[in-house]
Structure 1
Amino acid sequence: MDWLLAPATGTAAAALRTELTAFLRRHAQDLEDVGDAALVVSELVGNAVQHAGGPVWVSLDWTHPQPMLTVHDLGPSFDLEHLALPTTANERGRGLWLVSQLAKDLDVVTKRGDGKRVQAVLAVSRRVETSFDPLRRHLNPLPAADEAGPSGFGREAFLRALVVEIARTAEATQGPAVVEQMVAQVGATVGGQMEDEYRRARDVVARLAPEQVSDCYLRLKSAIDGDFYVISVTADTIVLGNRRCPFGDTVRQAPALCRMTSSVFGGIAARNHEHAVVLLDERIAVGDPECRVTVLLGDTARNNPGGHHYHAVPQPHQLNF
């Protein structure tokens, strides 16, 4: 990474120190080492700005275990061999002496023309990160080839494949329960946002009646290219069918994604009827020709031990129905 300070002002030097320190913190193995490294940056850049009288070039190379800081300027050079701890009566040189104690391999080279190059290895090690290099799966998560346009698969197909492949990878490494928990969390958050959008569109403030809950389901699923339809709605039960999964046929490769429907439907129902149970009776993801989803409300849900249970969690901004 490279920076040019032109004009080289104290304000520019301070901003660069902040940026470099933040970068070191993001990647350092031990945060306690960053303070000393930041001090070296501050002293070398500040010294160049104060004495060079012209532009200052700064670079940081962290291709090795410890980063190399290089500062070029057009100012006078100095001799490292004569650096010593200044006396209390002489403050000049204290910063460079401190740099020589905190940095590794401090070096100064006088240029053939004007100026100098100062290099210092900062005593901070890069955090060791786990490398993941899995073999490619040859089972294609993309939709059918006839969905591709003249330029190939579009954004929707790509994002759909991305979600499916993330779910498959998580299931292979962590197990299906972890994937279902993850998908349920996403569904809970997205479902709440979709309910808010439905309320704004329909101008609804009070509790959603069962018919409105089912209408909300159809609206949000239609928006993401599902093909849900109402089979029946009563005071305590909503039954929906679905002819087409928003994830396409690739959902068969990641059945845990059905938790998205369960979490979205269950969260909306519970927020409006205190308790809900979602029964995924039939699923395209496991080979059924269509999906069939039953949502139980209120006391009927409480008395049913099966399915996925959801409870209302009052928020400070929510109305208490």
Structure 2
Amino acid sequence: MEWLLAPATPAAAGALRTELTAFLVRHAQDGDTVDDAALIVSELVGNAVEHAGGPVWVSVDWSAERPLLVVHDLGPTFALDRIALPSVDSTRGRGLWLVSQLGLDLRVVAKRDAGKRVQAMLPVTRRMEPSFDPPRRQVNPLPGVDEAGPDGFGREAFLRALVVELARTAENANGPASAEQMVAQVGATVGGQMEEEYRRARGLVDRLTAEQASDCYLRLKAAIGGDFYVISVDDDRIVLGNRRCPFGDTVRQAPSLCRMTSSVFGGIAARAGEDAVVLLDERIAVGDPECRVTVLLGAAARANPGGHHYHRQL
């Protein structure tokens, strides 16, 4: 996730701190305190706003166990070896000293032309969520491959309402995990059928590359009314954004439906390789303005203890 503060004002820094703290609260392990992490965000962003005299760029990458905060600005750099505990009567310098004590792997790197990059690993861990990785049922689910139009499968309002109501009923009766497990099974089976349709449309036989997998995601989501777009693709991860949920605003009443995206994406990625992890970093279903989904592939997936894990099933 990335933000640009321009103009970089104290009000903008405060709003970003609130947004980032809410993000950490949603994903942090139960029992973790996010107060220390929020203090680090506040100090590093606040220092950049106060001293840079220009735009400030902020990013958070939580594809590993702990989130990495990076703050770029065009202001003067400083040396970490000069950070010491201020005297009791000092009014400045205490915040950066606290960051050096609370943050992990604090670094300051000068840019080639002007400015610097300051980064720190935030002292929170990602909440462990159960992974539902059911095998695809070996029956031909509806819709069948031959029902697809030139742009993939279509969407029917009745079926959308049916799925939402089934998820809500399962969640109310047996809890969120039960609903998520049910939705994951649907995603595993229907996702496999959607992948077959994509392969037939593209004439593909071999395993999908990361680029082909991301293209498959866009095709199947666009066909059912989503507005997904690629943020980045490389050999070890695919990062996608989404401006519109296929289930519409009703998804806020059944957040367990996000497991559909996780299961579909994770199953396709695992079949393309050996292992995959899906991280649902932002979700329209829980009030975020957009969705942001990271799919980790191969070694990157095996190295990540969090997220939803998927394995290649023969």
Query: TM-score with structure 2 length normalisation?
Result: 0.50
Task: Please tell me the residue identity of whatever aligns with 1:228.
Answer: F
Number of residue pairs aligned between Structure 1 and Structure 2: 160
Partner of 1:45: none
Task: Please tell me the residue identity of whatever aligns with 1:269.
Answer: A
Q: Distance in 1 between matches of 2:258 and 2:201?
A: 26
Partner of 2:90: none
Residue 274 of structure 1 and its aligned partner are, at CA, apart by: 0.6
Q: Distance in 2 between matches of 1:238 and 1:304?
A: 15
1:29-77 Cα shifts (integer Å, max 9, x gaps): xxxxxxxxxxxxxxxxxxxxxxxxxxxxxxxxxxxxxxxxxxxxxxxxx
Partner of 1:172: 172
Query: Where do 1:199-278 residues align within 5 Å?
Result: 199-278=199-278
Q: Distance in 2 between matches of 1:196 and 1:256?
A: 25
Task: Please tell me the residue identity of whatever aligns with 1:156.
Answer: E
Q: Distance in 2 between matches of 1:200 and 1:158?
A: 27
Residue 156 of structure 1 and its aligned partner are, at CA, apart by: 2.6
Residue 311 of structure 1 and its aligned partner are, at CA, apart by: 0.1
1:132-163 Cα shifts (integer Å, max 9, x gaps): xxxxxxxxxxxxxxxxxxxxxxx932322221
Q: Distance in 2 between matches of 1:156 and 1:202?
A: 25
1:242-282 Cα shifts (integer Å, max 9, x gaps): 00000000000000000000000000000011100000000
Q: Distance in 1 between matches of 2:267 and 2:254?
A: 22
Q: Distance in 2 between matches of 1:207 and 1:160?
A: 31
Secondary structure at the counterpart of residue 304 of structure 2: coil
Partner of 1:188: 188
Secondary structure at the counterpart of residue 305 of structure 2: coil
Matched, 1:310 2:299: no
Query: TM-score with structure 1 length normalisation?
Result: 0.49
More RCO (CA 8 Å, sep 6+): 2
For structure 1, which runs of at least 5 residues remain unmatched after alignment? 1-154, 315-321
1:226-246 Cα shifts (integer Å, max 9, x gaps): 000000001110000000000
Secondary structure at the counterpart of residue 207 of structure 1: coil
Secondary structure at the counterpart of residue 230 of structure 2: strand
1:163-183 Cα shifts (integer Å, max 9, x gaps): 111111111111110000000
Q: Distance in 2 between matches of 1:253 and 1:278?
A: 22
Secondary structure at the counterpart of residue 204 of structure 2: coil
Query: Where do 1:1-321 residues align within 5 Å?
Result: 156-314=156-314
4+ residue stretches of structure 1 with deviation over 3 A?
none
Q: Distance in 1 between matches of 2:204 and 2:211?
A: 13
Q: Distance in 2 between matches of 1:219 and 1:304?
A: 27
Q: Distance in 2 between matches of 1:250 and 1:303?
A: 35
Residue 191 of structure 1 and its aligned partner are, at CA, apart by: 0.6
Identity across aligned pairs (percent)?
Answer: 82
Residue 292 of structure 1 and its aligned partner are, at CA, apart by: 0.1
Task: Please tell me the residue identity of whatever aligns with 1:218.
Answer: L
Partner of 1:50: none
Q: Which structure is larger by alpha-carbon Rg, 1 or 2?
A: 1
Task: Please tell me the residue identity of whatever aligns with 2:172.
Answer: A
